[in-house]
Structure 1
């Protein structure tokens, strides 16, 4: 007699990740003719590529525009607001904006800016990933050439759109010297300082393509239903659960940050400022808090009229003439409530470790989950350290005199101590990964029974 065949729901029809079910589907795909429904599912041509890229850029533009409007940028002179929105979108995907100044023969101005508005980045990445994965849904496997061709179509459209944004993101502004002594000097010598920005097109296209590649690869890793080439199916057992857990961790911090910011806006006012923070730089804040909760250290300084879109306690620590150290200890000297960051980290990391273990094959041991969690968290923290840096400065000098101050010069930077942060991430990942595997044992046992039934 033959053993009964147990059918599973369509969502799990590929069996255990990378197991017999996936290999069976791969074999069937090689010998079965393609049906009209298969052709409809596999349709991902130029129209879909244009739609996906335009949707992502429109969402990014809306988020950036609303955030800049809430920050007061709608009052910029000479109709510069659309160009500033374009520049914000460019920087959100890794593009480079160059600042320049022209103050005449007797004066000199200098400025620089390096910051990524991660709220705009996150919005665009989510929409673009969804557009990339949609035509591939309901597929168990996909050939490498097919995935490469689909990604290449998106890349071509993306480069053309990014080129248009880069060429449009440029503007020049006049600097108001005021009515004081500085203004009198400017009137005496006929000085009319100007500052402006423009895009480094070559670097913008280069980093924009890297950003796109990262988004598409991460989308394939995170999505459980996204098809992979047959040769890569064996890697999904360890990579996909970890990638999914880290993305959920980062999104959980963003959601928590939105809730906290809205509560602060309702109870303390400053609704426009809170909206600007949410729409422009909320991930910059909450992911920084994630690393601080792990025990990481950042260094920085705030001088002049620059301000950080952050809680007041951060500005207090960083606003000094010397380079300041930013960690739990220095923050606790100003506000003891920062120790709650450790508790939040512990809870959310444990939840991420549970998700990782629950989505992994049942045969994996607890130490393997701990190792996967440690590697994934270290890579996540490295990403935060790379994209969370801030560096901004500007100044004006007249007649060879250095920065004149008076609201016309400032300096701001924030940088992480990377190796310390990575070491702490590995330690936290090992501990929470092991504990999460223990908490997920009931789920893993049920998964193991299901896998045995499927093999039967």
Structure 2
């Protein structure tokens, strides 16, 4: 799949490229979602197929709404409706990486620049086909999950003896004998009769969210792919924004890889390794990318009640347990566990690594060390100022649950986590500029500056630029 470079696109080639790009992306997302759901045991409550479709839709910006009647637990019908707004970024990241890679690979034959019409045609075909497949998943992502009363501690059972209903005759004494001892039995039948809850994908909102998601993925892919062409007239991007964008992209993806490796290590000694691995597959980027802005001192606030507290890492669960709208900072978490400061160390090292990579991939100019340092600091600062608010938006959580959805029982539970986007932008600009400057100075001192610049970055030098070695 390569671009012809002539500016004309054959319809057959265009369709084949779009089909391959979209189909591989959705297959990868479905595989990760199904495996993750199976490992966490969600398929024990309902059909795996509809759950997988719903999770993929959530991963690409869609919306899933549970609906049920759980009046036996003191909830009315209107209270049993709560939209799920937690994107499983592990699923979405796999799809985004594959979609972006295949898309830019189809453009490489065009050289350093590509016609705007050809680029629009190729991107438009991918977006259209993506939305068609997403519409099919929205239709398939509807099902009913069954709540096991034993998991709520109501009926007990072989694995959880001593449930509430088993204790009723003993605790109620003579009252339990009313109606020939049928009171506990009637309560159990009432619970069992109201234990089915459905979930539905909201087609309109999901298609709109999916359109935003796929366009954003294609734009980011064009921004970070140093060997892919850009629209004619924007060739300067090879020398300016792309080195910094690819560096920042690389360290963020590497951080997710480190998070997955840590999850595998944790699963080895855990009592429930399948649960740890499944949660990591579905949500490793959620935790890692929440930690990046937090470690760089972006303030957060939130709260958690009920069963959803268990999904939070330590010591965040201790800080938020049963509380609402609490400020979340590294300093407050460090009061509970001093090792939290290592998060800041890791995040600073990550940004510095991005600064070094930016300098190594940016062509060197004749303006000298000051001009080169300023260029690296400028572009990495701008992109980090955009990236941190995006991470804050992606990892923010807003979920209220009065029922079981996708196999997780969360009666009366809720969780809120939101970061400050303005603070993220300001801190991102500062951290990025500082890291870009330090990386440029280090690269200049060691002679590595510009050593890995793309060949496209040196085809047309800016006034005052000296040729750099293309790799």
Q: For residue 127 of structure 1, what is the aligned residue in structure 2?
A: 98
Q: For residue 304 of structure 1, what is the aligned residue in structure 2?
A: 306
Mapping for residues 410-421 of structure 1, pairs under 5 Å: 410-421=413-424
Q: Deviations over 1:247-272 (max 9, x none)?
A: 11211211211222222222445321
Q: For residue 380 of structure 2, what is the aligned residue in structure 1?
A: 373
**Runs of 4+ displaced beyond 3 Å:** 38-44, 103-107, 173-191, 267-270, 307-310, 445-448, 450-455
Q: For residue 111 of structure 1, what is the aligned residue in structure 2?
A: 82
Q: Is 1:104–1:193's contact at 8 Å kept on the other side of the alignment?
A: no
Q: Is 1:174–1:192's contact at 8 Å kept on the other side of the alignment?
A: no
Q: Is 1:44–1:135's contact at 8 Å kept on the other side of the alignment?
A: no
Q: Is 2:363–2:468's contact at 8 Å kept on the other side of the alignment?
A: no
Shift of 1:447: 8.1
Change (3 A) 1:293 1:407: closer
Is 1:157 equivalent to 2:129 in the alignment?
A: yes
Greater shift after overlay, 260-269 or 376-385?
260-269
Change (3 A) 1:421 1:195: same
Distance 1:215 1:230 in 2: 21
Q: Deviations over 1:162-218 (max 9, x none)?
A: 010000001123445644489855756996254221111111111111111111111
Change (3 A) 1:378 1:446: closer
Change (3 A) 1:64 1:95: same
Shift of 1:309: 3.5
Mapping for residues 247-266 of structure 1, pairs under 5 Å: 247-266=249-268
Q: Deviations over 1:361-388 (max 9, x none)?
A: 2124312321211211111111111110
| Gaps in structure 2 of 5+ consecutive residues | 156-164, 169-183, 366-370, 404-408, 459-464
Q: For residue 138 of structure 2, what is the aligned residue in structure 1?
A: 166
Distance 1:344 1:54 in 2: 36
Aligned residue pairs total: 408
Q: For residue 224 of structure 2, what is the aligned residue in structure 1?
A: 222
Q: For residue 100 of structure 1, what is the aligned residue in structure 2?
A: 67
Distance 1:84 1:286 in 2: 24
Shift of 1:157: 1.3
Distance 1:68 1:422 in 2: 35
Q: Is 2:8–2:118's contact at 8 Å kept on the other side of the alignment?
A: no
Shift of 1:321: 3.0
Q: For residue 426 of structure 2, what is the aligned residue in structure 1?
A: 423
TM-score, normalisation: structure 1: 0.82
Q: Is 1:318–1:324's contact at 8 Å kept on the other side of the alignment?
A: yes
**Equivalent in 76, 79, 103 of residue 45 of structure 2:** 76
Q: Deviations over 1:267-303 (max 9, x none)?
A: 4453212211221000111111111110122212121
Change (3 A) 1:188 1:41: closer
SS at match of 1:361: coil
Q: Is 1:374–1:427's contact at 8 Å kept on the other side of the alignment?
A: yes
Shift of 1:308: 4.5
Q: Is 2:223–2:245's contact at 8 Å kept on the other side of the alignment?
A: yes
Distance 2:256 2:468 in 1: 38
TM-score, normalisation: structure 2: 0.79
Change (3 A) 1:152 1:185: same
Distance 2:466 2:239 in 1: 17
**Equivalent in 245, 261, 267 of residue 247 of structure 2:** 245
Distance 1:61 1:445 in 2: 40
Q: Is 1:90–1:96's contact at 8 Å kept on the other side of the alignment?
A: yes
